[in-house]
Structure 1
Amino acid sequence: MDCGGPTTNKDKLLVIMGATGAGKSRLSLDLTACFPPATFEVINADKMQVYKGLDITTNKLPVPERLGVPHHLLGEFDSLDGEVTPAKFRELAAQAVSGVISRRKVPVLVGGSNSFIHALVVDLFEPGFNVFDGDSVTVSISSELRYNCCFLWVDVSLVVLTEYLSKRVDEMLDGDAAELAEFYNSVEDDSVVRTGIRKSIGVASSAGILGSTRRREVARRWGTMTRYEEKHTGRNEKTGIGGRRFGKERVVGPSVKIVNHFLEE
C-alpha cells in the first residue's frame, strides 16, 4: 500500500493492483460493500478485458456480479479496430476518471496491466518509452503522479495462486473451448495473432488446434496447454512478492481502513 505525498490539490484515484487471479476484482467489490452506496465507480485497467468478446477467456466480471457498481473500459472495444495502446488507454481512462469525479464519486482503477496503470497515473508519459524494459534508462521515468493515488497491491502466495489458477482453468475449460472456436470462426483474417484480445492467455497458441473436428480432443489439448501458460504467467507476475492468503481479515479489513484514511485526507 502506498498513499499520501504532496498531492492534496490533485483528484483522488484508488488503484488496485496484483497478479493474475489474485482477487483484484473481488477486493474492489468487497470495498464497495463496506462503504455507502454510490461511493465508487470502477475503471478497468486489464489490457485484455478492454476488448469485446472472449468473456470467459479473459475472465471478465459478469454484469450480475458487479453489484450495481458502474464499470468503465470493460469490454468496450473491438480488437479488429486496432489495439488499445498504453497511450490510448491514458486518454480514455483519463476521460473516465474525470467523468467519475464529476459525479462526485471515487474512481477505482482495477487491473493487472502495469503498462496501462503506469500510462494513466504518471504526470509525464512518453509513449515510445518502455519503463518495464530492463535496459531502459531509469532517469527518463516520471516520478510525479497525475493524481493523488492510493495503491493497494493484492498479494497472494505462489502456492495458493498456482492452485487457484489451476482450478480456474478446469472450471472454464469447456466454455473456453467453445468460445474460442466461435471467435476464430468469426474472424476472417488470421494473419495477425498477437494483437488486441488475441494476446489473451491461450488464445494465439490455441489457433493451431482449434481446427480439429473432434471437440473433446480440442478441449483436452487446449486445456493442458492453458493450464501451463496461466500458471507460468502467474509465476512471472508473482516474482519478488511476499505471499499472503486472500481473505476478509487479512485483506478486506485492512484495505477498508486504508481507503477510509485516504478518503478523509
Structure 2
Amino acid sequence: MAAVVRCGLRPPLVVILGATGTGKSKLAIEIGQRFKGEIISADSMQVYKGLDIITNKVTMEEQALCSHHMISFVEPLVKSYTIIDFRNQALSLIEDILQRKNMPIIVGGTNYYIESLLWKVLLDIKQVDSDEESLQNDKASMKANLENLDGLELHRRLTEVDPDMASMLHPHDKRKVSRSLQVFLDTGVPHSKLIKEQKLQAGGGDLGGPLRFDNLCIFWLHCDLKVLDQRLDKRVDEMLSAGLIEELKDFHRLYNEKKIKENNQDYQHGIFQSIGFKEFHDYLTVSVDAPEDMKTRLFQKGVELLKLATKRYARKQNKWVQNRFLNRPGSAVPPVYGLDVSDVTRWEESVLDPAIEILTSVMKGETPTAQPLRVKSEVMRNKRSRHVCDLCDKVIIGDLEWKAHLKSKKHVYHSKKKTRLTLEKDCKNDSVHSLPSTTEIQTEEITLC
C-alpha cells in the first residue's frame, strides 16, 4: 500500500493497546512506515538492557524498518528508574516527534506506563535545590529503608500518615503502598489529598486528572481467548527455540548469581521481575551435580510456569483496557477502536486496512466511518473501599472485588460450614435443654413402679 498523503494537520498521538501476543508491534511498524511514524515502547521491562527474548523486544531488523525509542537504555542492575522517569522522557519524545510533523506511536502492555502518558495521573514532585541537599539525602535513605520492610509494616506506617489512602490499598500491594509513603516523604502531604486535588482539575474526574492530548487515536487489538492461549503457548515454544535458556543462563551468571549468594535477590524490582526470569529460578540455581532427571523436571516446571504467567498477564492487560476505557465512562475517556486479530490470515482485511482508514480520517479532521467500542455506561463504578471477610481471613479492596468474593467457592464453602456448625450447636443446646433432670427421671421411675 502506498504511503498516505499528509494532510497538513498535526498528526495524532497513536496508541496501540492489547494483550501480549496480539501483534501490537507488527501493526505499529506498518503504520509507522505508511505515516512517517516513530514508535515509543511503553513496556517497563524493555527499557532495560538484556533479556531481549524473554521481554519480546523487536529485533534489530524490525527497528530498522521504523524509528524506535525507549528500548534497552537502562542498565540491568539499576533499581532507581521509575515510572516518573519514563513519563518525563516519553513526553519529551512525543513533543519532539510532533514538532517534526511525524506521528508518535505508543506501543506497549505496561498499563501504568501508558496511563502516565495519556492522563495527568502522576504527581510532579518538586525537586529540591542544592541548599536542601542534606534533606534530599535523608529522604533517599528513608526510601531505601522502606524496601526492607514487609507489606504489613508498610501498610501500618501508611495508615499513620494517610489513613484514607491506606484504606484503599491492600496490605499485600507493597509497590503501591510504598509509592504512597514515598509521596508523603517527598511532599509532606498525604497522597490521597494530592490525588483529590488532581481530580478537581479542569477535565479531571473519578479516573484521575485530565487527558494530556486532545488529538488521540487509540486501537485495541483483541482476540478470541482460546486462540490467544494457543498463540501464547506457541510463542513460548518459539522463544525456547530462539535461545531463551541460553539467554537466561547468561543473564543469571552476569547479574543474578552473586545477588543470590549474598542473599540479596529481589524479584520485585527492575528487570528481575520480568515474566519468565523468576519462573526459571529453580532451574537456574540447581546444583551442577544434580541428577539429570531433576534438571529436566525443573526445566519443564519453568516452561509450564512461564506459559501460565504469560496467559495470566494477557488477561490482566485486557481487563485493564475494559476497566479503564469501556467500563468507566467520563469526559476524560477517549474513544477506542477495536481490531479483531483472532484470524491472522485476514490481517490486512480485519486489522491493517481498518486502522489505516481510521487514521486517515482522524488526520483529515473527519469522523471515521468505523464506530469506536461502546462504553458500558450501566456498569457500577468500582469504589476503592475496604472490606474485611472474617470467614476467609482476607482483606478485599474494591466493591466489585467484594461482590465477586462473596460469590467465590472459598467464601461460599466457609459460609456453609459456619451455618452448619451453628445449626449443630443449636441442635445440641436444644437437646440438652429438652432432657429431663435426674430428679424427674427418678420420680417417673417410682411412679411407674
Superposition TM-score tier, normalisation by shorter sequence: 0.7 to 0.9
The reply on whether 1:150 has 2:226 as its aligned counterpart is no
Per the alignment, residue 24 of structure 2 pairs with 24
Task: Measure, in 2, the Cα distance between the counterparts of 1:95 and 1:109.
Answer: 13
Deviation of 1:140 after TM superposition, in Å, equals 6.1
Deviation of 1:62 after TM superposition, in Å, equals 0.3
Per the alignment, residue 189 of structure 1 pairs with 259
Map 1:4-83; keep pairs closer than 5 Å.
12-33=12-33, 35=34, 39-83=36-80
Instruction: Choose the corresponding residue for 1:255, options 355, 358, 382.
Output: 355
Q: Name the structure where helix makes up a greater proportion of residues.
A: 2
Seen in structure 2, the aligned counterparts of structure 1 residues 118 and 11 have a Cα distance that, compared at 3 Å, is farther
Seen in structure 2, the aligned counterparts of structure 1 residues 116 and 182 have a Cα distance that, compared at 3 Å, is same
Deviation of 1:232 after TM superposition, in Å, equals 2.1
Per the alignment, residue 4 of structure 1 pairs with none
Instruction: Choose the corresponding residue for 1:233, options 307, 313, 328.
Output: 313
**Are 2:13 and 2:217, in contact at CA under 8 Å, matched by a contact in 1?**
yes
Unaligned runs of 5+ in 2: 1-8, 126-164, 171-191, 197-204, 327-337, 366-449
Map 1:92-241; keep pairs closer than 5 Å.
92-123=89-120, 125-126=122-123, 139=206, 141-146=208-213, 148-174=215-241, 175-187=243-255, 188-190=258-260, 191-212=265-286, 213=288, 219-239=299-319
**Are 1:123 and 1:146, in contact at CA under 8 Å, matched by a contact in 2?**
no
Q: What is the one-letter code of the residue matched to 1:202? A: G
Per the alignment, residue 159 of structure 2 pairs with none
Task: Measure, in 1, the Cα distance between the counterparts of 2:212 and 2:83.
Answer: 16
Unaligned runs of 5+ in 1: 1-8
Deviation of 1:179 after TM superposition, in Å, equals 0.8
Deviation of 1:98 after TM superposition, in Å, equals 2.2
Of 51-60 and 64-73, more deviation after overlay is shown by 64-73
Deviation of 1:210 after TM superposition, in Å, equals 0.4
**Are 2:48 and 2:72, in contact at CA under 8 Å, matched by a contact in 1?**
yes
Q: What is the one-letter code of the residue matched to 1:59? A: N
**Are 1:89 and 1:120, in contact at CA under 8 Å, matched by a contact in 2?**
no
Q: Give 3-state SS (helix, strand or coil) of 1:79's partner.
A: coil
TM-score by structure 1 length?
Answer: 0.83
User: How many residues get paired?
Assistant: 251
Q: What is the one-letter code of the residue matched to 1:144? A: L
Q: What is the one-letter code of the residue matched to 1:18? A: G
Deviation of 1:45 after TM superposition, in Å, equals 0.4
Identity of aligned residues (%): 30
**Are 1:194 and 1:204, in contact at CA under 8 Å, matched by a contact in 2?**
no
Task: Measure, in 1, the Cα distance between the counterparts of 2:312 and 2:124.
Answer: 28
Q: Give 3-state SS (helix, strand or coil) of 2:312's partner.
A: helix
Seen in structure 2, the aligned counterparts of structure 1 residues 47 and 223 have a Cα distance that, compared at 3 Å, is same
Deviation of 1:53 after TM superposition, in Å, equals 0.4
Q: Give 3-state SS (helix, strand or coil) of 2:14's partner.
A: strand
TM-score by structure 2 length?
Answer: 0.51
**Are 1:44 and 1:111, in contact at CA under 8 Å, matched by a contact in 2?**
yes
Q: Give 3-state SS (helix, strand or coil) of 1:207's partner.
A: helix
Superposed CA RMSD in Å reads 2.8
**Are 1:16 and 1:152, in contact at CA under 8 Å, matched by a contact in 2?**
yes
Seen in structure 2, the aligned counterparts of structure 1 residues 86 and 114 have a Cα distance that, compared at 3 Å, is same
Q: What is the one-letter code of the residue matched to 1:47? A: S
Task: Measure, in 2, the Cα distance between the counterparts of 1:243 and 1:41.
Answer: 21
Deviation of 1:172 after TM superposition, in Å, equals 0.9
Seen in structure 2, the aligned counterparts of structure 1 residues 259 and 100 have a Cα distance that, compared at 3 Å, is same
Of 195-204 and 111-120, more deviation after overlay is shown by 195-204
Higher relative contact order, structure no. (Cα contacts within 8 Å, ≥ 6 residues apart): 1
Seen in structure 2, the aligned counterparts of structure 1 residues 140 and 150 have a Cα distance that, compared at 3 Å, is closer
Deviation of 1:67 after TM superposition, in Å, equals 4.4
Task: Measure, in 1, the Cα distance between the counterparts of 2:92 and 2:24.
Answer: 22
**Are 2:49 and 2:75, in contact at CA under 8 Å, matched by a contact in 1?**
yes
**Are 1:158 and 1:238, in contact at CA under 8 Å, matched by a contact in 2?**
no
Task: Measure, in 1, the Cα distance between the counterparts of 2:114 and 2:339.
Answer: 22
Of 47-56 and 94-103, more deviation after overlay is shown by 94-103
Q: Give 3-state SS (helix, strand or coil) of 1:77's partner.
A: coil
